[in-house]
Amino acid sequence: MNKIPITVVVSVKNEELNLPHCLEKLSSFSEIIVVDSQSTDNTPKIVEQFGYQLINFTWNGKYPKKRNWTLQNIPLKNDWILFLDADEFLTNQFIEEVGHKIKNTSASGFWIYYNNYFMGKEQKYGLKMRKLALFKKDKGVYEKIEEDLWSHLDMEIHEHPIIEGPVSTIKSTIQHKDYKGLEHYIARHNAYSSWEANRFLALKKEGIKHLTLRQKLKYNLITSGLLPSLYFFGTYILKLGFLDGVTGFHFARYKAHYFFQIQTKITELKTKI
């Protein structure tokens, strides 16, 4: 069987719980590379068991982070690159569609939508996650942000891919399902909110003209102080998140609190300037 000519890059650190579920879905692709931030658990052994390429990455606190570093330093077999996290699992429908789409497209990149799981249950309603995670290696790069050691996040999380050329959409979704539980979810989003707060203050100096419409809307709503309430109302009421039951309520509350964290951290950082 001919393999799909896409290089899948999985960025990891201590992902022994999620990684097997991710890697077992990738056999249809012609190249799989796992870029690891010096894991101390069984992550390297799992990659070895699957027979995929493992590359170690050490961040020095400056540009580039993990994904741009991979694009700049690792020989990639294919023109198309799919960036995945260890808690993102491909479906058969997605694999079939993406294999067809890249053969018959003028696009340089594709938006990918996710079926999100929270506390073990699929969230069928609410606002849908999406990422611009599939693009041609010579047509895309993640935006460069001078962080000045805002956090220990060595991978592009909120940095937006800048794509040269048209962008399309893969209709079939993939699964976003983290097996590490709420404690990890809370710790991760605490780190994300610190990054977002520092990024917001930096943008006050740089301006927001270069951002996407979605990014501009987010930062304008953060300025207004309305984002936590509007997010909860939008995802839980307007997008019918309440139909997901108690986990739909918990997910909306946690996400709204995440934006509240960003706002209060911005307030605290301003007092230190």
pLDDT tens-digit map of 215-233: 778 878 887 889 999 999 9
pLDDT-derived band of residue 86, with 50, 70 and 90 as boundaries? very high
As a whole number, mean pLDDT of residues 196-215 equals 79
Task: Enumerate domains of the chain plus CATH numbers.
Answer: 4-176 (3.90.550.10), 181-271 (no CATH)
| Residue type at position 204 | K
Cα–Cα distance for residue pair 262/194, rounded to 1 Å: 7
Q: How many CB atoms lie within 10 A of CB 219?
A: 19
Structure tokens, 244: 């997901």
End-to-end CA distance of the chain: 60
Stated pTM of the model: 0.94
Task: Check pLDDT > 70 for residue 91.
Answer: yes
Q: What integer pLDDT is reported at residue 205 of this predicted model?
A: 76
Q: To 10 degrees, the CA torsion angle through 76, 57, 21, 95? A: -20
Cis peptide before 166 (omega within 30 of 0): no
Q: Give the angle 78-165-104 at the CA atoms, nearest 5°.
A: 55
pLDDT-derived band of residue 79, with 50, 70 and 90 as boundaries? very high
pLDDT tens-digit map of 116-165: 999 999 999 999 999 999 999 999 999 988 877 778 899 998 888 999 99
Q: What is the CA radius of gyration of the chain?
A: 19
Residues 6 or more apart in contact with residue 163 via CB below 8 angstroms:
108, 109, 132, 135, 139, 140
Is-contact 201 272, C-beta < 8 A? Answer: no
DSSP the chain: -PPEEEEEEEEESS-TTTHHHHHTT-TTEEEEEEEES---SSHHHHHHHHT-EEEE----SSS--HHHHHHHHS--SSSEEEEEETTEE--HHHHHHHHHHTTS---SEEEEEEEEEETTEE--SSSPEEEEEEEETTTEEEPP---SS--S--S-SSPPEEESS-EEEEEEEEEE--TT-HHHHHHHHHHHHHHHHHHHHHHHHH-STTS-HHHHHHHHHHHHT-HHHHHHIIIIIIT-GGGGHHHHHHHHHHHHHHHHHHHHHHHHHHHH-
pLDDT tens-digit map of 246-271: 999 999 999 999 999 999 999 999 88
Q: If you average pLDDT over every residue of the chain, what do you get?
A: 94
